[in-house]
Amino acid sequence: MKGAHEFALLIPSGQYGNLRIESGHHARGYTFSIFIVTPNGELEVYGILGGSPGWTEYYGWIYHGSWEIDFYELLRKQKEIQDEQTKKNLEAYERNEKSEHERRVRILNSYGKPE
């Protein structure tokens, strides 16, 4: 849903320092919540701000504070990891395409030649 999609795709559920993230999806889209965890307890600081849950909900910061800096640093790191993986996947794809092209050329060039 609005405000959850990008984050849910980048950051899986888990504990990240003092942030606990719940990343998921339902029939209408992605869900994403952030909780701060302190010795005094746990509190949701990013989640549904309005709309009809499961239908038209939209997400945002419920409470603002220094945890936002920690979250955006986590997001930056996750984007770097994803970008590096995308780069590796593209390089592997290009190597495979080149190899397949060379294989096809060998086959085409060998047509009609005795072995």
Render pLDDT for 28-68 as a digit per residue (tens, 0 to 9): 788 999 999 999 999 999 999 998 777 788 899 999 999 99
pLDDT in tens, 63-95: 999 999 999 999 999 999 988 988 988 999 999
Q: What pTM was estimated for this model as a whole?
A: 0.72
Q: Please, what's the b/e burial string for 56-87 (b: 16 or more CB within 10 A of its CB; e: otherwise)?
A: ebebeeeeeeebeebbeebeeebeeeeeeeee
Q: Which amino acid is at 109?
A: N
CA angle 8, 11, 14 (to 5 degrees): 110
